[in-house]
Amino acid sequence: MSNAPAPTYIIGHKNPDADSICSAIAYADFKQQREAGDYLAARCGNSNARIDTILDRFGMALPPFIGDVTPRIRDIMVRDVIKVKRGATCADALELIDTHDIRILPVVDAEDRLTGTVSVFQLGKYFLPKMREPKEMRRVQSTSVRAIIESLKARVLHTCREDRREDLFVRVGAMDIRSFGSFSETESIPPQKSIIVVGDRRDIQEHSIRMGVRLLVITGNLNVEEDIVRLARDAGTSLIVSPYDSATTAWSIRCASTLDTLVEDDPARFGPEENLRDIRKRITSLNAAAFMVTDEAGALLGIFTKTDILKPVRTRLILVDHNELSQAVTGAAEVNIVEIVDHHRLGNLHTQQPILFLNEPVGSTCTIIADLYRREGLTPSPTIAGVMMGGIISDTLNLNSPTATAKDRRTLEWLAGIAGVAADTLADLIFSSGSVILSHAPGEIIRSDFKIYEEAERRFSVSQVEELGFDNFWEKSDDLLQALAAMRKEEGLYFTSLLVTDINSQDSLLLIRGDPSFIQQIPYPAVEKGEIFELKGVVSRKKQLIPFITGLLQNIPPDEARAKTASP
């Protein structure tokens, strides 16, 4: 696995608005200018017409989509796997194990599909003699003459059928010719399946060839007389010279056996997308030295061990424009959140270690990031300055929202000078970029800028769209109410709501689906159906609507709220 530091993803909330996307882009640029590291802007939701308009105006690409950062096997597996082909020899496996200091080797076929594994423990058992077996079975080798030649790095004097794989039996000709001859006659092993390992014993060399042994191995890199070579050639006996002594030669021949009989054919294997939380439970009872990772076709992708599972997660996140896990990218709670830059109320997020947390009561996260450039003596490019302008204008309704502050105003003026565009001109472009209500289905509308909140034991959602007038809204009001009801049931929420804001009049309409006893507490005038309320002068979800809703919820006992929450 590479030791290079993992990238840090800078990402806003689900169902991002313009400030969420623009602040991620700008903060990634700021971090890249200020310090070493790989900082990448990302998003965990779809774009919309307003975001696209801002990015198109300044020639900036939409950040890549990352919908889930839950740690998975692909995040911790070793990808450059040391492996061995089916049909390889024990010598091949031992060399790889020794060179790379590993305990287990995946065994693959010609198409790189996993067929099994072989471990150093299996090889060790193979080389230990099994004293309860018949003595001839202790010496059997499933191999070929060519594999033996390669294992010994032998000098070839004559071979025949060297690529044929067969079961052969090794004997060392270390005894007197009279004993050897008697031994040969009483062995139950046919000569054509015998390998004789011998030094400069001409009598045993000649006797072995006349017996018709399959392979004669001369040890010690000794010279072999020409008439012995001719005799071997005429008898069809393969004849090679080993550079090693007899004991080492016999051991090396055993290494020339193929791995096939040692391969464990059904190793534990996993898919790369399986999440680590589930895998930790599954491998607890498994004793494998390592676990294989394959794709659906069985191709080997990686390998991991129990130690890899315990290593710290490498994925790093910086959250912008939110600080609540309910609004964060899926899996955020299981990775390293290293920074937060936000302008909303504090949520219930917990981190494992201290982090940099920037939270200011301003109208836009882009205002905070632009201020960081100024404090560090950095000047954003005209493109990045324009993107931050778009985030501020969109989130503060061009400074008309009650969330807008003097700092937002000063920052917007500073950025306009760098970007070379007037704030009002950019605002006209952004807010005339198309109606969300006309261009999207009801379900998409309520999820386009949708946040789930939790107050005590109550979970609820507030969505918001901004329109030029309410004409488009009234055409879809019934469908929007039905979509809110469906989402309430799907998410198991106490209530769901949609704030539709008229940018021109600075007023809003609130659609809400929930328990009637809660809805009856809303003091604003109801218009049609009793589930749509007119909120004069309310344009800010963060500063006006959420504090108002929180106050209403505090009057409802928790047990009653739980009882009236929609079933998921």
Full domain range(s) for residue 218: 145-255
pLDDT of residue 156: 93
Q: Is residue 88 part of a domain?
A: yes
Confidence grade of residue 266 (pLDDT, cut at 50, 70, 90): confident
Q: Is pLDDT of 284 > 90? A: no
pLDDT digits (tens, 9 = 90+) for 34-66: 988 899 999 999 998 899 999 999 999 999 999
pLDDT digits (tens, 9 = 90+) for 172-220: 887 767 666 554 554 567 888 889 999 888 888 989 899 899 999 999 9
β-pairing, 39-42 vs 8-11, is: parallel
In the chain, % of residues over pLDDT 70: 91
The rounded distance, in Å, linking the Cα atoms of 200 and 132 is: 33
| Mean pLDDT of the 282-293 span | 85
Q: Which of 401, 431, 461 is the last residue of a domain?
A: 431
| Of residues 249 and 379, more confidently modeled | 379
Instruction: Give how many domains the chain has, as a whole number.
Output: 4
pLDDT of residue 126: 67
Question: What does 483-538 look like in DSSP terms, one character per residue?
Answer: HHHHHHHHHT-SEEEEEEEETTTTEEEEEEEE-HHHHTT--SPB-STTTEEEETT-
CA distances from 297 to 12, 350, 475, 519 (A): 36, 41, 51, 55
pLDDT of residue 59: 97
The letter for the amino acid at 129 is: P
pLDDT digits (tens, 9 = 90+) for 179-192: 665 545 545 678 88
Same domain, 351 and 410: yes
| Of residues 307 and 174, more confidently modeled | 307
pLDDT digits (tens, 9 = 90+) for 229-241: 999 999 999 999 9
For all residues of the chain together, what is the average pLDDT?
A: 88
Q: Is pLDDT of 271 > 90? A: yes
The rounded distance, in Å, linking the Cα atoms of 357 and 340 is: 5
pLDDT digits (tens, 9 = 90+) for 86-120: 888 888 888 888 889 888 899 999 899 999 998 88
pTM reported for the whole predicted model: 0.67
Pick from 46, 154, 143: nearest CA to 92: 143
Pick from 164, 255, 175: nearest CA to 214: 164
pLDDT digits (tens, 9 = 90+) for 499-556: 999 988 889 999 999 988 888 889 999 987 678 999 999 999 988 999 999 888 887 7
Pair 86, 109: CB distance under 8 Å: yes
List the CATH number of the domain containing 204. Answer: 3.40.1390.20
pLDDT of residue 131: 45
pLDDT of residue 20: 97
Confidence grade of residue 2 (pLDDT, cut at 50, 70, 90): very low
Same domain, 267 and 241: no
pLDDT of residue 263: 84
List the CATH number of the domain containing 86. Answer: 3.10.580.10
Q: Is residue 137 part of a domain?
A: no
β-pairing, 316-320 vs 8-11, is: parallel
Q: Is residue 132 part of a domain?
A: no
Q: Is residue 135 part of a domain?
A: no
pLDDT of residue 179: 64
CA 212 to chain centre: 60
The rounded distance, in Å, linking the Cα atoms of 165 and 143 is: 5
Same domain, 65 and 86: no
The rounded distance, in Å, linking the Cα atoms of 491 and 486 is: 9
List the CATH number of the domain containing 523. Answer: 3.10.310.20
Q: Which of 431, 450, 477 is the last residue of a domain?
A: 431
In the chain, % of residues over pLDDT 90: 53
| Of residues 311 and 417, more confidently modeled | 417
Same domain, 283 and 322: no
Confidence grade of residue 561 (pLDDT, cut at 50, 70, 90): very low
pLDDT digits (tens, 9 = 90+) for 116-141: 998 887 777 666 655 454 444 445 67
Same domain, 299 and 369: no
Same domain, 371 and 442: no
| Mean pLDDT of the 260-269 span | 83
Same domain, 299 and 323: no
pLDDT of residue 138: 45
